[in-house]
Structure 1
Amino acid sequence: MARTFSRLLRRHQVLNDIHRIPINKRTIWQRLTFKARASAFTSAVGKRYAAFIPVGTRLSPTIRFGHAFNGVHIAGNARIGEHVLIMQNVPIGANMGHARDTEAPVIGNNVFIGANACIIGRCVIGDGAKIGAGVVLVNATIPAGAVIVNNSAYDLTNDRSVYSRSRS
């Protein structure tokens, strides 16, 4: 399974390299096959892992997924740092409810994201933060080194709720 997983990550990287080339600078072969290859990749990831990682998503080579990437959904414009560990069933996406909330999360380096955590909207997660299992973050700012637990996003390092201040 690890071989298959690493092969899928390599395919994702190759497709991203082609995706970054402006359309008018791509070779004929790249123009003709890109859409089909991207669709085949997304389909393979969806069938094998029940996950969704669009081709435009930039994944670091040091990113790690617990239990492959079963159930992980990552928005195409999300930014994920180096040495991040993401457990299963974690959506990381943009809040499409309002036009102003279409920004996706920014996740720093050396972050742990527990199983079934939800990170939605303009979330900024600092370096070295630990997000516990089942935590729901919507448009939240998490400081570097914070430990967030509970579905109400309680910060153990600062002994307060993430949402205790007024939200704007």
Structure 2
Amino acid sequence: MFAAAKNIYERDPAAHSMWEVLLTYSGFHALAFYRLAHYFYVRQHYLLAALVAHWGKRTTGVEIHPAAKIGKHLFIDHGTGIVIGQTAVIGDEVTILHNVTLGSRHPRSSGPRHPQIADHVFIGAGAQILGRIYIGEYAKIGAGAIVLQDVPAHTTAVGNPARLLPK
């Protein structure tokens, strides 16, 4: 977890020290709760995983399902209001701002129901990425965007419903 704190410290210009990140950053704490809950989930200790995830949500304001798959160096900045669903996959070096949902559009469907986010994606505040869609590497999702379809790599999506901006 020290590497996660170091990543946040290096990426956030508002961070004054590693101690500040370790002690006060809700995004860092949310990832710590998630990693523990995920550890229990993959070992089929579902109730314990759910309890850890619930405590994490109550403590940080960030709800991450223990079954979600999260890569290295996720940066959750101003974590309040983030929801990451059960079958969501998040790649490496992704940045997520506050009030973002990686949710499902069809809660009863089988298989993956949540977005798959590639490496180096930026997701702006209030964005809603819903359904079984893919967000390509280095894509940017604008603040408040409602994304219901795939976003190719190196592309920016903005608006409601989201539209792709020319490269």
Pick the TM interval, shorter chain.
0.7 to 0.9
Q: Which runs of 5+ in 2 are unaligned?
A: 1-19
Q: Which moved more, 1:117-126 or 1:56-65?
A: 56-65
What SS does the aligned partner of 1:41 have?
A: helix
Q: 2:61 aligns with which of 50, 54, 58?
A: 50
Given that 1:101 and 1:121 are in contact with CA atoms closer than 8 Å, whether structure 2 keeps it comes out as no
* 1:149 and 2:158 are equivalent in the alignment: yes
Corresponding letter in the other structure for 1:13: R
Aligned position for 1:27: none
Given that 1:135 and 1:148 are in contact with CA atoms closer than 8 Å, whether structure 2 keeps it comes out as yes
User: What is the CA–CA distance in structure 1 between the aligned matches of 2:105 and 2:92, rounded to whole Å?
Assistant: 24
Query: Where does structure 1 differ by over 3 angstroms across 4 or more consecutive aligned residues?
Result: 4-8, 97-102
For the aligned residue pairs, the C-alpha RMSD in angstroms reads: 2.4
Change (3 A) 1:103 1:7: closer
* Deviation digits for residues 17-37 of structure 1 (CA, Å, limit 9, x no counterpart): 23223x4xxxxxxx5xx624x
Corresponding letter in the other structure for 1:2: V
Change (3 A) 1:19 1:100: closer
User: What is the CA–CA distance in structure 1 between the aligned matches of 2:146 and 2:123, rounded to whole Å?
Assistant: 11
Change (3 A) 1:52 1:149: same
Aligned position for 1:127: 137
Q: Which runs of 5+ in 1 are unaligned?
A: 24-30, 159-168
Change (3 A) 1:109 1:132: same
Aligned position for 1:10: 32
Between the two proteins, the alignment pairs up a number of residues equal to 145
Return the index of the structure with the highest Cα Rg: 1
What SS does the aligned partner of 1:141 have?
A: coil
User: What is the CA–CA distance in structure 2 between the aligned matches of 1:108 and 1:73, rounded to whole Å?
Assistant: 17
Equivalent residues in 2 for 1:7-46 (5 A)?
Answer: 7-21=29-43, 23=44, 35-36=47-48, 38-46=49-57
Percent of residue pairs bearing the same amino acid type? 27
Query: How far off is 1:8 after superposition?
Result: 4.4
Change (3 A) 1:7 1:70: closer
Given that 1:49 and 1:70 are in contact with CA atoms closer than 8 Å, whether structure 2 keeps it comes out as yes
Q: 1:88 aligns with which of 93, 98, 102?
A: 98
Given that 2:142 and 2:159 are in contact with CA atoms closer than 8 Å, whether structure 1 keeps it comes out as yes
Query: How far off is 1:58 after superposition?
Result: 1.9
Corresponding letter in the other structure for 2:81: G
User: What is the CA–CA distance in structure 2 between the aligned matches of 1:152 and 1:43, rounded to whole Å?
Assistant: 31
Query: How far off is 1:132 after superposition?
Result: 0.2
Corresponding letter in the other structure for 1:104: H
Given that 2:99 and 2:127 are in contact with CA atoms closer than 8 Å, whether structure 1 keeps it comes out as yes
